[in-house]
Amino acid sequence: MTFTSPVLSYALLSPVLILLGGALIGVLVEAFVSKALRPVVQLTLSLGTLMLALMQVWRIRGEESLTPAMGSLVIDGPAVLIQGSILIIAIISIFLIADTEHFTPLPAALPGSAEEREAEQAGNQVTEVYPLTLFAVSGMMIFPIATDLIMLFVALEVLSLPLYLMAGLSRRRRLASQESALKYFLLGSFASAFFLFGAAYLYGFSGSITFSGIQAAVVGGTGNDVLLLIGMSFLSIGLLFKVGAVPFHSWTPDVYQGAPTPITAFMAAATKVAAFGAMLRIYYTVFANAEWSWIPVISAIAIISMVLGSLVAIAQRDVKRMLAYSSIAHAGFLLSGIIALNKSGLDATIFYLFAYGIATVGGFAVVTLVRDSSGEVTDLNRWKGLGKRSPFAASAFALFLLAFAGIPLTSGFIGKFSIFSAAYENGATAVVITGVLSSAIAAFFYIRVIVLMFFTDAVEDGTAVEVPSILTRATVVISAVITLVLGIYPAPVLDFITDLAIFIR
Amino acid sequence: MFISNTLVYLIALPLAGAAILLLGGRRTNKWGHLLATAMSASSFGVGLYQLMLMLDRPTEQRPASQKLFEWIHVGEFKVDAGLLLDQLSICFVLLITGVGTLIHIYSISYMSHDKDRRRFFAYLNLFIASMLLLVLGDSYLNLYVGWEGVGLASYLLIGFWNQKPAYATASKKAFVMNRVGDMGLSFAIMIAFATMGTVSFVGVQEQVSQTSEAALTAIGLMLLVAAAGKSAQFPLQAWLGDAMAGPTPVSALIHAATMVTAGVYLITRSNFVFDAAPTAQLVVVIVGAITLMFGALIGTAKDDIKKALAASTMSQIGYMTLAAGLGPVGYAFAIMHLLTHGFFKAGMFLGAGSVMHGMNDEVNMRKYGALRKFMPITFVTFGLGYLAILGIPPFAGFYSKDLIIETAFDAGGAKGIILGITTLIGASITAFYMTRVMILTFTGTKRWDEDAHPHESPWLMWLPMAILAIGSVSSGYLLSRGDALENWLYPLFDHSDEYQKHLIEPIIVSGMALTMVAIGVAVAYFKYARQEVSSTAPEDVSIFTKVARQDLMQDRFNEAVFMRPGQALTTTLIAADQAVVDGAVRGVGQVALSSGSALRGLQNGYVRSYAAIILVGAIALIAAIWVVVS
């Protein structure tokens, strides 16, 4: 038996390698740096790692390779765009994560126990959250560039496991936080099992675990479509679970609500980008020739996601749950980009992912600011009159809501417009009509919140807006600026995406 | 077309002013108002410079354009953000920045005691920038952005003193009624794009000949809805009176000289659409005629000086709309009346502000009287505006209004006679209520409250009034001398087959108009100057006065036509719902809410239920694929 040593293109893989290296150093920092220094060191390290990775992604833009790692990974235009989006979102999220107010001082202690109080008095901080974030980001970076099923599964787990942990780290309402983490873990494992099962069927169908092998089998046909269909369905379930599409969405509201808000922001934005990045690659290349079988089904899922997400969001009284349902609806909008299955659909989906991710981080960043003495206030009734008390926070939140609603002059409008027109080109009229109608329903509840903030008299119940720390302020301002610029002058970004976004196979 | 790269400064300067003042916060309190005024003035300077450049170019080269950036390029849909400055928009640019700057200067003094003066000036600059974008946009979509911008700025300025709930309500009312108009504009844009595939002015103009009249009529009517909302035309006129809650300079700038004329701009800008859609054009004329009478009648019964002027504005814009509906020959006259009106009405509003300034913010004219002696400058400037709006030669209104009356008669047939007589009666009523305002305010006996100490306003306030008064005196003559404005606008409006001879000699029309005006003045004189005016509004008045005091029941009308049927429909639906299928038929929102709540029941928090949902979903998914495949 002979082994051939693997040939790796280090330059093309450098963003991922930098992230993994940064995460490992982060673990060492936990072990060897003194408690007082850790927060600063970890923040600097994470930020530096992410920036460096982003720089590397910028440098490899325009390069293409099918074999940066022996055919398990691929680097092409969409890969660079998705990776860049994930990194930018991670960078502005890390500013939020740096606000330790949100995290429990001692995750291992029972809620309300003496140990917890001691740790709190000692000023402990869970700086482990930084390396965990970096690990999650590396998983997210690999997910959309994986080109075989094993790599895809490994990436899925690498991105998921840290998130399960991070969801349970909340300082306030710790039981709810731990409950949500456990739910996320259990349901996530359930979905992973489907995913793995689907991968097995696909191997059975094609005799290959690589995307190109499966694709060849789809094109050529092996005479056993049952295996393909079951495999495709199960694989899709794993992916649809990650993006929170109906009916695999049920974890979303509970986890979004329970997790510490900075984690929710990061998870909601970055996971969606990564998972849709992988979906784009799989549906646009591997399954493209079997589109007669999956387009109707994915269309149905898109429609019910849009409708259910928009309808249920109306009935929410909690701002984080409302945003969770809105993200379900947005998963539906994004699926219409998958259905489009053409070049403009690819461009539009990537643009939409970036725009939506940025607005999501910004929106949750504002949520972290509205607090009373016992932590964040997420009850919408207590957001009344926020516009008078804090014009900064309220106007920024209003802007993000308008972007979610797709009102012109925000990034959301350009995103919705382009993604729906792409889906329309491919004849997905029903999806587009439902999309426009549910956007109208959705606009209703977004605007209701704006009315609540600006035109309702405040109740005096101690709800106050924190004076934003410089880091949080940076998150809000950067997100707001990007959201506006992409709405007013999106042409350069759209052109950039159009030039780069071509899958190689 | 001439390519210019300096047009953007027109908008950028006031926009920068607004940004600096809003973002700079309290640090800019000391000099913010000066900066805002300077920005507006420099924009006026740029406007004058552009005019010079334009005059230097041959006629066909006069319009200038500037492409700012590619805005939306998605698939087949391409819209660029671009500016277009032609003979029509330069008129507006100079009016907006010129009158705007004067009102900035006036406000420095008028708002000097307000602790939020900086914010006020920021909004004023924002308004100027949006209004300029509205008139400079080279497509309906760019216009729409400015259109929304002025709506926002107007909302912020009407509700500037929002600590008073009534004022906040007023701004909300203006906002909502404007939304109805905005829907019209967005529908017009959508229809235009669907039928012609373009939304730029040039593109639409080229496509008109290949478009069916039905589509053009639909576009025209939707544009009219938009114009009615912004310009307070029937049936969307109700907000203008309430909008007077804002500070008086706002009323002068937005609700007299500029924003409310945006509707007239929209109609004249879309002249190619209306020329090809006679039905829509006829509706424009009818709306204009109704509004000019409507506003005039309301004006006769208002005791609040600002509301009387607001009603008058509504009526005068009715004249412009009517002229704009009369086809190519009317467009130029609509614009001329718009410009002269900008001078005299803004001047009178500033005069009203000056009176209020001296009278402890009292707005009830029955509490004024004999102010002529105490405020001589205000009296003279207001008086010149008064003579102008009446149409006494040689003041501005004489030229512009007479031309509209002539054109109305020239429409020919029964239409011409009805329109002509309407405009004549309107002129007479205008004379009546404006004379009433003059008499109640400046002459007669003192009916002041005890603590009133009227005094002339400081120079910063009377100087703009004086400059506007010069405009009230001279602008009509200057614009109509040798048909100056008509010839200037000539290339834009196609009136090849016009210039027929007048059906009635202009001198006879002028004679009739002046007679009608004299009657109006005389009635007002005998009713108010020869009799004692009580300081409270008399209750034993005729039913007409009562109705007019209620704004001709416009709010009742809205309630009766929109709100009540809406409510009745809902009630019926709920009744039907309970009678027929329980919970099946309800309002859309109700259904959404209840289904939302029902679906929320699935979200019970148990992880086993969630897993079950996923399992069921998985089975459904496979079943669905099965169905699709087989």
Q: Could you read off the pLDDT of B172-186 as tens digits, one per residue? A: 777 777 777 888 888
Q: What is the structure's pLDDT at B411? A: 81
Nearest to A187 among B614, B620, B624 (CB): B614
Q: Which residues of A touch B618 (CB under 8 A)?
A: 194, 233-234, 237
**Segment (H or E) for B251:** helix B248-252
Does B605 reside within a domain?
A: yes
User: What is the C-alpha separation between B353 and B100, in angstroms, rounded?
Assistant: 16
Paired with B77 in beta bridges are: B74
Q: What is the structure's pLDDT at B560? A: 62
- Note the pLDDT tens digit of each residue in A94-106: 999 988 778 888 8
Average pLDDT over residues B402-428: 86
Q: What is the structure's pLDDT at B294? A: 85
Q: Does the beta-carbon distance from B172 to A491 stay under 8 Å? A: no
Environment class of residue B619 by beta-carbon count within 10 Å: exposed (0-12), middle (13-18) or buried (19+)? Answer: exposed
Q: A489 touching B, CB under 8 A?
A: yes
Q: Which residues of A touch B140 (CB under 8 A)?
A: none
Per-residue pLDDT band at B553 (split at 50, 70, 90): low
- Note the pLDDT tens digit of each residue in B237-258: 777 877 777 788 888 888 777 8
Environment class of residue A429 by beta-carbon count within 10 Å: exposed (0-12), middle (13-18) or buried (19+)? Answer: exposed
CB B529 within 8 A of CB B362: no
Q: A52 touching B, CB under 8 A?
A: no
pLDDT surpassing 80 at residue B482: no
Does B613 reside within a domain?
A: yes
Does B327 reside within a domain?
A: no
Average pLDDT over residues B297-324: 87
Does B247 reside within a domain?
A: no
Nearest CA in chain A to B186: A408
Residues of B with CB under 8 A from a CB of A: 69-75, 77, 145, 172, 589, 592-593, 595-597, 599-600, 602-603, 605, 607, 609-611, 613-614, 616-618, 620-622, 624-626, 628-629
Q: What is the structure's pLDDT at B192? A: 87
User: What is the C-alpha separation between B459 and A266, in angstroms, rounded?
Assistant: 59
- Going from the C-alpha of A414 to that of each of A162, A403, A407, B583, the distances in angstroms are 33, 9, 9, 38
Q: Which residues of B touch A489 (CB under 8 A)?
A: 69, 71
B271 CA to chain A: closest CA distance, Å?
Answer: 27
Q: What is the structure's pLDDT at B583? A: 41
- The CA dihedral of B575, B580, B583, B588, to the nearest 10 degrees, is -70
Average pLDDT over residues A57-77: 89
Q: Which residues of A touch B606 (CB under 8 A)?
A: none
Q: What is the structure's pLDDT at B29? A: 80
Beta carbons within 10 angstroms of residue A5's beta carbon: 5
Q: What is the structure's pLDDT at B266? A: 92
Q: What is the structure's pLDDT at B574? A: 56
A437 CA to chain B: closest CA distance, Å?
Answer: 12
Written as six digits, the tokens of B113 are 């005691």
Q: CB-side exposure of A364: number of CA atoms within 13 Å?
A: 32
CB A46 within 8 A of CB A134: yes
- Note the pLDDT tens digit of each residue in A377-417: 888 888 888 888 888 889 999 999 999 988 888 899 889 98
Q: Which residues of A touch B610 (CB under 8 A)?
A: 183, 187, 250-251
SS3 sequence of B431-500? HHHHHHHHHHHHCCCCCCCCCCCCCCCCHHHHHHHHHHHHHHHHHHHHHHHHHHHHHHHCCCCCCCCCCC
Its pTM stands at 0.68
SS3 sequence of A240-279? HHHHCCCCCCCHHHHHHHHCCHHHHHHHHHHHHHHHHHHH
3-state secondary structure of B111: coil
Which 431-460 residues of chain A touch chain B by CB within 8 A?
441, 444, 455
A453 CA to chain B: closest CA distance, Å?
Answer: 15
Q: Does the beta-carbon distance from A237 to B599 stay under 8 Å? A: no
Q: Does the beta-carbon distance from B72 to A409 stay under 8 Å? A: no
pLDDT surpassing 80 at residue B64: yes
Q: Does the beta-carbon distance from A186 to B592 stay under 8 Å? A: no
State the residue for tokens 């780069």.
A500
* φ, ψ (nearest 5 deg) of residue B542: -70, 165
3-state secondary structure of A465: strand
Q: A225 touching B, CB under 8 A?
A: yes
Q: Which residues of A touch B593 (CB under 8 A)?
A: 314-315
Q: What is the structure's pLDDT at B400? A: 86
Give B508's contacts (C-beta < 8 A, 6+ positions apart): none
Average pLDDT over residues A481-503: 90
* Average pLDDT of chain A to the nearest whole number: 89
A299 CA to chain B: closest CA distance, Å?
Answer: 11
Q: Does the beta-carbon distance from B625 to A418 stay under 8 Å? A: no
Percent helix, strand, coil in chain A (nearest 5)?
75, 5, 20
Q: What is the structure's pLDDT at A439? A: 86
Q: A293 touching B, CB under 8 A?
A: yes
Q: Which amino acid is at B466?
A: A
Does B405 reside within a domain?
A: no
A310 CA to chain B: closest CA distance, Å?
Answer: 8
So what's the ipTM on this one? 0.84
- Note the pLDDT tens digit of each residue in B367-391: 787 778 888 888 888 888 898 888 8
Per-residue pLDDT band at B77 (split at 50, 70, 90): low
- Note the pLDDT tens digit of each residue in A323-340: 999 999 999 999 999 999
Does B604 reside within a domain?
A: yes
Nearest to B614 among A190, A253, A293 (CB): A190
CB B161 within 8 A of CB B148: no
Nearest CA in chain A to B23: A392
Q: Could you give the angle at the alpha carbon of A63 between the alpha carbons of A59 and A68, nearest 5°?
A: 100
Per-residue pLDDT band at B522 (split at 50, 70, 90): confident
State the residue for tokens 């040593």.
A5
More confident residue, A59 or B70: A59
Within B165-212, residue ranges assigned H as helices are 165-196, 201-207
B166 CA to chain A: closest CA distance, Å?
Answer: 14
A-to-B residue pairs, Cβ atoms closer than 8 angstroms: 115
> Which of B167, B614, B622, B626 to substitute to test the interface with A, most A CBs within 10 Å?
B614
Q: What is the structure's pLDDT at B61? A: 81
pLDDT surpassing 90 at residue A147: yes
Nearest CA in chain B to A230: B622
More confident residue, B290 or B629: B290
Strand-strand pairing, B77-85 and B64-74: antiparallel
> Which of B588, B591, B607, B630 to substitute to test the interface with A, most A CBs within 10 Å?
B607
Q: What is the structure's pLDDT at B586? A: 42
- Going from the C-alpha of B290 to that of each of B228, B296, B400, the distances in angstroms are 12, 10, 19
Which residues constitute the domain of residue B626? 596-630
Q: What is the structure's pLDDT at B113? A: 81
pLDDT surpassing 60 at residue B588: no
Q: Does the beta-carbon distance from A187 to B607 stay under 8 Å? A: yes
Average pLDDT over residues B459-482: 84
* Average pLDDT of chain B to the nearest whole number: 81
Q: Does the beta-carbon distance from A344 to B69 stay under 8 Å? A: no
Nearest CA in chain B to A492: B70
Closest CA relative to residue B102, chosen from B272, B252, B207, B299: B252
Q: Does the beta-carbon distance from B626 to A315 stay under 8 Å? A: no
Percent helix, strand, coil in chain B (nearest 5)?
75, 5, 20
Which 128-187 residues of chain A touch chain B by CB within 8 A?
182-183, 186-187
State the residue for tokens 């203008």.
B240
Does B293 reside within a domain?
A: no
**Torsion-angle region of A502 (φ positive above 0: left; ψ -120 to 50: alpha; else: beta):** beta
Q: A301 touching B, CB under 8 A?
A: yes
Q: What is the structure's pLDDT at A9? A: 87
User: What is the C-alpha separation between B31 and B38, in angstroms, rounded?
Assistant: 11
User: What is the C-alpha separation between B54 and B86, in angstroms, rounded?
Assistant: 8
pLDDT surpassing 50 at residue B587: no
Sheet holding A375-376, edge to edge: A375-376, A370-372, A464-465
User: What is the C-alpha separation between B346 and B475, in angstroms, rounded?
Assistant: 14
Does B620 reside within a domain?
A: yes
What total number of domains does chain B contain? 1
- Note the pLDDT tens digit of each residue in B331-364: 888 888 998 998 888 888 888 888 888 887 777 8
Q: Which residues of B touch A182 (CB under 8 A)?
A: 607
Q: A344 touching B, CB under 8 A?
A: yes
Q: Does the beta-carbon distance from A251 to B600 stay under 8 Å? A: no
Q: Which residues of A touch B159 (CB under 8 A)?
A: none
Q: A51 touching B, CB under 8 A?
A: no
CB B146 within 8 A of CB B134: yes
Q: A251 touching B, CB under 8 A?
A: yes
A54 CA to chain B: closest CA distance, Å?
Answer: 27
State the residue for tokens 């600026």.
A481
Q: Does the beta-carbon distance from A311 to B589 stay under 8 Å? A: no
